[in-house]
Structure 1
Amino acid sequence: MFYQRPVPGLILICTLLSVLTNCQRTEPNQNFELDGPFKKWQPVTLTFDGPEVSETAVKNPFLDYSLLVKFTNGNHSKTVPGYFAADGHAADTGADSGNKWRVKFAPDLAGKWRFEAFLMEGKNIAIEQHTLPGRNDAIWEVNGDFEIAPVDSTATGFYKTGKLAYTEDRYLEECETGAPFLKNGVGSPENFLAFHEFDGTFDNGGADTPTLEEGLHRYTDHIADWKDGDPLWGEEKGKGIIGALNYMASKEMNSLYFLVMNEHGDGNDVWPWIAPDVQTRYDVSKLEQWETVFTHMDALGIAMNVFTQETENDTILNKGELGLERKLFYKELVARFGHHLGVVWNLGEETNRTPEQLKSYASYLRRIDPYDHPIAVHNHVRVTGKRMEGRPLDPIKETLTPLLGYKNFEIPSLQMFDTTEVHKEVLKWIDLSKKKKKPWVVYLDEIGHWDIGVTTDSAANNNYAAVMRSSLWGSLMAGGAGTSWYFGGLDTPNNDMAAENFRTRDRWWAISNNARHFFQDHLPFWEMRSHDGLLSNKEAYCFAKKDEIYVVYLPKGERTDLQIGDGAYSIAFYDPLKGGMLLDKQNEGWKITRPNSVELSAYNGQTERDWVIVIAKK
């Protein structure tokens, strides 16, 4: 839709010509386009006419202009940064110049919204001006309003469940439904955005991936998963990457881990700029194409686990400090993608940065992000008894301990070399953060030796049984909020950066979702916590709301005593490998040994497999 609205008073407009002629007075800007479904949570797009510039103009459109729009509904308001949009259709046209300036807004309330939009200019103003200016300090001001209807009953994904938000609890919350969110995510390839049909994307000399054509992803096996009506750009581009997302959603995977900048990193094939080393000039068409992909993720309910850098390149921007290029990087990410509903900003994979630097990043992000998306960081692995390249023996402790209680940090994104330590490590950070009055949402985002991770279904060294016990259930039974499943390796087909076909782990997606469904369908898990001390066997896990419900994970061949409260209890068994229904008790599998104690063993004598046992008060 296209609107024209009068703006009171005389306002200065600076075109590129007027910039060169000391800025002339002209008529006020009255033209803007307002577009969207106008339903709660679904993005509203405002596109304004502004100065005619290009990605490479002398006056930098990314640094030297700032578009801010304040949206107000009653006493509720958000000030949202905008961005240079070239011709307004750059995803399709590839344009690098134009006079369109845009803001995207995710309304979290139904009803009438008013907006005040200001476009300002000045040296480095994009990273310095984050509040609305005085009226005479803007190139132009535009006002308007629109009406937002309640949530669309036919909406899908996060458009139905709402934004993921931190609510001072162990789990993120879906803002519309109020339900706690358990992540079951795809964790490879980290260079998911190194897709051959994105503009300005090429292999810049990263790690060798001989199974990829020209070192880039094509996701050819998923082109058939693209459906009529799904988004594309340009001339039928994007079917492979959109189809890959469709497949993930069909397997109920609800999160994706990816880097938005790996210049000088392992892949060296993902960056938001017009060139890998031009860090203040952004590739508008590429970023609009990313936006197409991210919008589809919202509709599918796949959360964006956004890694902003990696261990190999975390000094590329300002030598690791919070300088001009880094501030602009965060500002462009927030302006272009902050309206998405499942975002977690991750400060870096296997971070080398100091706690002081990490806090400065988090503080700046929190300041400019109107949606207060959760902020995370990923640690180096801990290798017992070894010092890696001068790093401390316990990089997890060194990274995370100084962040405990910090107001602008919510998620430790754990990497565990020794998967047998997952359960106790997740529990450790849950307990420590609770004591600091800022409970953390603890994610497990990389597991095992870097060359293994989670194997393919057909791998000779298939490790699903071990990963299921130690990492999947070990994390959740400690109170963890979910996992991203890393594939392992670099250049092996369908491993980590060479991953093309996600069906190669089809069976694992089912196993990991068995756990998520069990927690969501059978437990008040947000009210439960680890109670391993109630067990006699240290190989088993206990997760409980004492005196009401107890869940025990029992590895194959094991048995344990469980202390329970007074009263009558029911008992049922669950097969974590096969999933499905809870199984009622049989003649074997449990017996009362003394008051307030039961002995638990395999369901009906089936000791060759792991069991999950539910003991609930009748």
Structure 2
Amino acid sequence: MPRLKQARFILMLVSAVCLSACSDKSANEWQLSESNHSVRHEAGLVAHNNTMVLLGGRGERPIEVYDSEAHSWKQQLTPAQELHHFQAVSHDGLIYIIGALTGPWPEETAVSEVLTYNPDTQTLIASHKIPESRQRGAAGLVVYQDELYLLGGLTNGHMGGSVPWFDKYNPQTGHWQTLPDAPTARDHFQAVVVGHKLYAIAGRQTSHATGEGMSLTQAQLDVYDFNTHTWSTLPASSNLAVPRAGNMASAIGKHIMVLGGESSAQTLAHNEVSIFDTSTLSWQNAEPMQEGRHGSGVAIIDNKIYTVSGSGKAGGEPELTTMEYLNLNDFDLANTANSAISFGQAFTLDIVGPEVSETDSVNPFTQYLMRVTFSHPSGQTKVIEGYFAGDGNAANTSAKAGNIWRSKFTPQRTGEWEYSAALYEGEDVVFASEESLTAMSPIAQANGTFTVGKVRPNDGFFAQNGQLSVKNGYFFFPHTQRYWIKAGANSPENFLAYNEVDGTYRAAQQARDGEAKAPDFIHEFTAHVQDWKAGDPTWQQNKGKGIIGAINYMADMGMQSQYFLTMNINGDGADVWPYTSHEEFERFDVSKLAQWDVIFSHLQARGIMLHVVTQETENELLLDGGNTERLRQLYYRELIARFGYHNGLVWNLGEENGPAEWSPKGQNDEQRIAMAAYFAQNDPHNNPIFLHTLPSASDKDTILPPLYASAFDGMSFQVDNRETVFSEIMKWRRASVNNGVSNNDGWAITMDEIGMWHTGAKVDADDPTHDSLRRHALWGALMAGATGVEWYFGAHQPHNDLSSEDFRQRENLWKQTKIAADFFNEQALSSLKPLTDGQGLYHMQSDTVDIIYFLPMSSAELPLAAGLYDVTWLDPISGARMHSAEVEHSGEGMLKINVPSDFAQKDTVLVLERKTPA
């Protein structure tokens, strides 16, 4: 890892790359040397202020600090009390010792106080008393967000008493809080924090009293999620392959290195080095240490990982006189060995650059550009632009400043990928031409490889199917060759105006004729807190449960899409934007956008498509007067860089786009075409590009034809008269095919906002059966070849398009929608062609099947091909199916079908599947 600009920039790679494939094997080996430290075992080693400090160990051992220039250890204070069996941590200028043992084997006692050591003043003090009922030793200790967490340990020395206890200690106040027990009791281990999770790995349940001093080693991994405050045990496939205790452990990027240890399986101390990938939950063996050891710690200094002291055999001897290190400049252990991401998952790459803030005079959103080129042996190349990520953890810290630039890429091919990353600095560099970038020298760069493995069986819908696309007028997944229709909610449009998202407020309160009135509150989704489940994401320890619970509810109802605005400045809600304020268009709110991505990731994990609507009719001209110039490009670039990696995402470039009677100033044809062209040229993930239409048929006649030759993949329809849904979709599907859209595949059309504007979809209490919506907007749209339906909540309804807090108010509608969506997703969609509309039925036909939707009627005459047909009837309200006797048709004239009496007085679906020719 080269030093750049006098070590101002440090490259930090955060995903899987190569270990065994690295060519210079000698550079990857541990370097062993003699050391002048005072020999000891069951000691603590910790990195502190860019040096190492060695503390404790059995017997009276001095505290020693490593002099990196002299390559020697210098003694400081010798504690009056023997201290051993602890994991030391450095925090806020002090080294903490909590959960230590003292005294001789095997009946040691737990140290009853929190001890802090200051190497500058060489003072060791007892700062606070540990509650008597929580005292133990041989425990794991970590720091997370300025508080210390103590896990596991022994209450009765080596005689026994291994506990699963978990406690939080505030070093400022001394407050001690008991937290939920871990799933497994363990001692003689070291705990590790990666991101927002604590990992308990290795260790044992020491019980010398029963003759099991070393044999009860623990292979399973327990994980505590600080966001959800819950424990889980990883599946057996994630178990440590060589269980041992007395090991050392350290986080390196998103990976955990476990070194050495002891066990009853062998006399010598273990020299194994195991790497755990927290994203794939998989292990890989690294180059072993030259000398096995246990009972020490590790420290990372100057990009080298060190260990020193300890014992070379199981038990207490020999105490080692050596230290060894692995040079991470030559071998980046943040990117381990054959540790593949699985198909459908994102590869994340971070570069650490200069410390900047959202509000600095040097604008981090225009003055820095991160660009990564990814290459696959097939010849496929993707260029991904990164974004300013603050401190890299802004969702939880609300950081406005930091030095992390991040890129996210979701590959659509398995196998090994190469990447080349660069961070550039310069005036308006994000707008620089390719020629200008070629002439610039990056301030940081990286090269490497990673492997994409097969999809994991338990991954969600979008991970299983890969990137969403459009083909033959339907949503389509190239990876699985699957056609798909969506179904979900078109409201509330200000879904992201959530009270626990940073920087969210209402800029103005307005109620225009023909629009919903924004409520006095920002969304809380309190009704859905009950739907949040243990293990679901939150941020800042407990925020997000309402909106995450709402997502859970909709997913449980079978919904697979959610419509939301990402910018409604000057619009109906005036409460959603990505910026630091509603008046600033060149600075983005880093923590807000990170929290949005927590929400988006959960939508994806629950199989819900992201319907990202970038503007509404009231602000079409807000950025660059409607052109795609500086402000609009900056906005779109940020959306693409941050969120484009999600597999199931559609860019919708404008709600009710274009001039209308009630909004006469809007974008023109050229501006619409330019927006679509920008996304087509700059989104490396090729997410589908849609436009939301105005409601009337005449508006569509004016605005849509000039877009035939544009980069739009589809249209998001608004229709004011629900009884014309079928005919309007039929008309534009055919017109787009006839005018050469997408090589004659035509536009994909979704039925997303049903009129009239004031009514939309009523709540169940006012319309329990939703007959007109089901018949005309739901089945009418899908029978016309629409690739999805969403429900708009109306402007003058309870729980309307801006105020809705409880999706349960329309539960009957979700149930009926799921029946229709499930039915069509069972069909060979691309081969179905709509035939007729009106006259009491809708009809679709392929070479092998006819689908007929009957409005309430007793019989109908149908034009069918000759053949013998299986007959199935479907109730679109209950989902019940009934099979009737086969019918045969000669192919001459029309075949009369009588609707069964059980279905005759209501709408019903008939499926005729041809078995053989007549």
Q: How does 1:83-102 map to 2 (within 5 A)?
A: 83-102=387-406
Q: Which amino acid aligns with 1:148?
A: V
- Out of 500, 521, 545, the position equivalent to 1:215 is 521
Relative contact order: is structure 1 or structure 2 higher (C-alpha 8 Å, sep ≥ 6)?
A: 1
Deviates more, 1:575-584 or 1:468-477: 575-584
Instruction: Return the alpha-carbon distance in structure 2 between the equivalents of residues 283 and 130 of structure 1.
Output: 28
2:430 maps to: 126
Is residue 346–residue 645 contact of structure 2 (8 Å, CA) maintained in 1?
Answer: yes
1:370 CA drift (Å): 0.3
1:585 CA drift (Å): 4.3
Instruction: Return the alpha-carbon distance in structure 1 between the equivalents of residues 8 and 909 of structure 2.
Output: 71
Instruction: Return the alpha-carbon distance in structure 2 between the equivalents of residues 567 and 607 of structure 1.
Output: 25
- CA 1:210–1:430 in structure 2 vs 1: closer, same or farther (change >3 Å)? closer
Deviates more, 1:111-120 or 1:220-229: 111-120
Is residue 467–residue 478 contact of structure 2 (8 Å, CA) maintained in 1?
Answer: yes
2:738 maps to: 435
1:263 CA drift (Å): 0.8
- Out of 565, 572, 578, the position equivalent to 2:878 is 578
Instruction: Return the alpha-carbon distance in structure 2 between the equivalents of residues 591 and 164 of structure 1.
Output: 40
1:553 maps to: 853
Pair 1:33 & 2:42 matched: no
- CA 1:55–1:524 in structure 2 vs 1: closer, same or farther (change >3 Å)? same
Pair 1:543 & 2:844 matched: yes
Pair 1:513 & 2:818 matched: yes
Is residue 211–residue 493 contact of structure 1 (8 Å, CA) maintained in 2?
Answer: no
Pair 1:257 & 2:563 matched: yes
Is residue 591–residue 599 contact of structure 1 (8 Å, CA) maintained in 2?
Answer: no
Structure whose alpha-carbon radius of gyration is higher: 2
1:122 CA drift (Å): 2.0
The two structures have a TM-score, normalised by structure 2, of 0.61
- Out of 144, 152, 159, the position equivalent to 2:448 is 144
- Out of 786, 795, 805, the position equivalent to 1:500 is 805
Q: How does 1:395-544 map to 2 (within 5 A)?
A: 395-406=699-710, 408-437=711-740, 438=742, 439-459=746-766, 461-462=767-768, 464-489=770-795, 492-521=797-826, 523-532=827-836, 538-544=839-845
Q: Which amino acid aligns with 1:97?
A: A
Provide, for residues 57-106 of structure 1, a one-character-per-residue CA deviation record: whole Å limited to 9, x for no partner: 11110011111111112112211110111111111011101111111111
1:17 maps to: none
Is residue 9–residue 353 contact of structure 2 (8 Å, CA) maintained in 1?
Answer: no
Instruction: Return the alpha-carbon distance in structure 1 between the equivalents of residues 888 and 391 of structure 2.
Output: 72
Q: How does 1:18-97 map to 2 (within 5 A)?
A: 29-34=10-15, 35=254, 36-37=279-280, 38-74=341-377, 75-97=379-401
- CA 1:132–1:292 in structure 2 vs 1: closer, same or farther (change >3 Å)? farther
Helix, strand or coil at the partner of 2:14: strand
- Out of 677, 680, 685, the position equivalent to 1:366 is 680
Is residue 592–residue 599 contact of structure 1 (8 Å, CA) maintained in 2?
Answer: no
The two structures have a TM-score, normalised by structure 1, of 0.89
Q: How does 1:101-250 map to 2 (within 5 A)?
A: 101-129=405-433, 133-134=437-438, 136-167=440-471, 169-207=472-510, 214-250=520-556
1:565 maps to: 865
Provide, for residues 520-558 of structure 1, a one-character-per-residue CA deviation record: whole Å limited to 9, x for no partner: 23x32320101228xxx7231110014x32111111035
1:355 maps to: 669
Is residue 366–residue 429 contact of structure 2 (8 Å, CA) maintained in 1?
Answer: yes
Is residue 298–residue 340 contact of structure 1 (8 Å, CA) maintained in 2?
Answer: yes
Q: Which amino acid aligns with 1:33?
A: V
Q: Which amino acid aligns with 1:200?
A: G
2:894 maps to: 597
- CA 1:429–1:558 in structure 2 vs 1: closer, same or farther (change >3 Å)? farther
Instruction: Return the alpha-carbon distance in structure 1 between the equivalents of residues 831 and 524 of structure 2.
Output: 43
1:609 maps to: 906
**Over aligned residues, Cα RMSD in angstroms?**
2.3
Is residue 405–residue 433 contact of structure 1 (8 Å, CA) maintained in 2?
Answer: no
2:693 maps to: 379
1:18 maps to: none
Q: How does 1:293-312 map to 2 (within 5 A)?
A: 293-312=599-618
Instruction: Return the alpha-carbon distance in structure 1 between the equivalents of residues 909 and 450 of structure 2.
Output: 51
Q: Which amino acid aligns with 1:137?
A: S
- CA 1:399–1:206 in structure 2 vs 1: closer, same or farther (change >3 Å)? farther
2:630 maps to: 324
Q: Which amino acid aligns with 1:541?
A: Y
Q: Which amino acid aligns with 1:79?
A: V
Instruction: Return the alpha-carbon distance in structure 2 between the equivalents of residues 484 and 358 of structure 1.
Output: 23
1:16 maps to: none
Is residue 441–residue 480 contact of structure 1 (8 Å, CA) maintained in 2?
Answer: yes
Is residue 370–residue 424 contact of structure 2 (8 Å, CA) maintained in 1?
Answer: yes
- CA 1:377–1:206 in structure 2 vs 1: closer, same or farther (change >3 Å)? farther
Provide, for residues 163-188 of structure 1, a one-character-per-residue CA deviation record: whole Å limited to 9, x for no partner: 21123x11111233221111112110
2:169 maps to: none
Instruction: Return the alpha-carbon distance in structure 1 between the equivalents of residues 520 and 912 of structure 2.
Output: 55
Instruction: Return the alpha-carbon distance in structure 2 between the equivalents of residues 247 and 107 of structure 1.
Output: 30
Is residue 627–residue 671 contact of structure 2 (8 Å, CA) maintained in 1?
Answer: yes
Is residue 669–residue 703 contact of structure 2 (8 Å, CA) maintained in 1?
Answer: yes
Is residue 423–residue 444 contact of structure 2 (8 Å, CA) maintained in 1?
Answer: yes
Is residue 9–residue 352 contact of structure 2 (8 Å, CA) maintained in 1?
Answer: no
Instruction: Return the alpha-carbon distance in structure 2 between the equivalents of residues 317 and 449 of structure 1.
Output: 29
Instruction: Return the alpha-carbon distance in structure 2 between the equivalents of residues 355 and 430 of structure 1.
Output: 20
1:512 CA drift (Å): 1.0
Helix, strand or coil at the partner of 1:217: coil
Is residue 68–residue 132 contact of structure 1 (8 Å, CA) maintained in 2?
Answer: no
Helix, strand or coil at the partner of 1:473: helix
Instruction: Return the alpha-carbon distance in structure 2 between the equivalents of residues 301 and 344 of structure 1.
Output: 14
Is residue 867–residue 890 contact of structure 2 (8 Å, CA) maintained in 1?
Answer: no
Helix, strand or coil at the partner of 1:328: helix
1:283 maps to: 589
Is residue 379–residue 396 contact of structure 1 (8 Å, CA) maintained in 2?
Answer: yes
Instruction: Return the alpha-carbon distance in structure 2 between the equivalents of residues 231 and 131 of structure 1.
Output: 43
- CA 1:464–1:27 in structure 2 vs 1: closer, same or farther (change >3 Å)? closer
2:31 maps to: none
Q: Which amino acid aligns with 1:613?
A: L
- Out of 640, 644, 653, the position equivalent to 1:338 is 644
Q: Which amino acid aligns with 1:607?
A: A
1:207 CA drift (Å): 4.1
1:284 CA drift (Å): 0.1
Q: Which amino acid aligns with 1:512?
A: T
Which has more strand, going by share of residues?
Answer: 2
Task: Tell me the percent identity.
Answer: 35
